[in-house]
């Protein structure tokens, strides 16, 4: 079975500071990992994914994520937060042989204050 944990319900950061949103996963095989963002009253939007290769993945809006196999983590990062980054962020995982079956974490609300 595959699962995802996002240990923080909310992350607060000041504008201009670096941000990290944490995600850990559990799969029995190799993982495909995804980050999605949800702005108020909108659907989820794809941010980035890790499939294979370089452990540092770059995505939309200046976000990046680091895959760490030994720690089974896929933390989302951004060097300098913007107020407009405030949103709900979801980490998702699926095993490489699990078809399209994505499992989502509970979500982390990011609040960036001016």
Can you give the binding site for another protein, defined by CB under 8 A? 6, 9, 32, 34, 36, 41-46, 49, 51, 90, 94, 99-102, 104-107
Q: In whole angstroms, give the CA distance from residue 90 to residue 108.
A: 7
Least Cβ distance, residue 51 to another protein (angstroms): 5
In this structure, the number of other CB atoms found within 10 A of the CB of residue 30 comes to 11
- Closest to another protein by CB, 10 vs 80, is 10
Q: In whole angstroms, give the CA distance from residue 69 to residue 21.
A: 17
Structure tokens at 33: 């990992």
Least Cβ distance, residue 28 to another protein (angstroms): 17
Least Cβ distance, residue 59 to another protein (angstroms): 11
- Closest to another protein by CB, 18 vs 106, is 106
- Closest to another protein by CB, 82 vs 102, is 102
Please list, in sequence order, all residues whose beta carbon lies within 8 angstroms of the beta carbon of residue 107, skipping any fewer than 6 positions away.
6, 9, 38, 88, 89, 90
């Amino acid at each position: 079975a595959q699962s995802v944990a996002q240990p923080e319900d909310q992350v607060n950061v000041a504008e201009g500071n670096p941000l990290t949103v944490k995600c850990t996963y559990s799969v029995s095989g190799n993982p495909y990992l995804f980050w999605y963002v949800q702005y108020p009253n909108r659907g989820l939007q794809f941010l980035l994914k890790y499939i294979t290769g370089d452990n540092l993945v770059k995505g939309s809006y200046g976000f990046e994520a680091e895959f760490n196999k030994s720690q089974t983590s896929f933390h989302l990062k951004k060097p300098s937060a913007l107020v407009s980054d405030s949103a709900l962020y979801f980490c998702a995982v699926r095993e490489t042989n699990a078809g399209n079956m994505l499992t989502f974490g509970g979500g982390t609300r990011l609040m960036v204050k001016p």
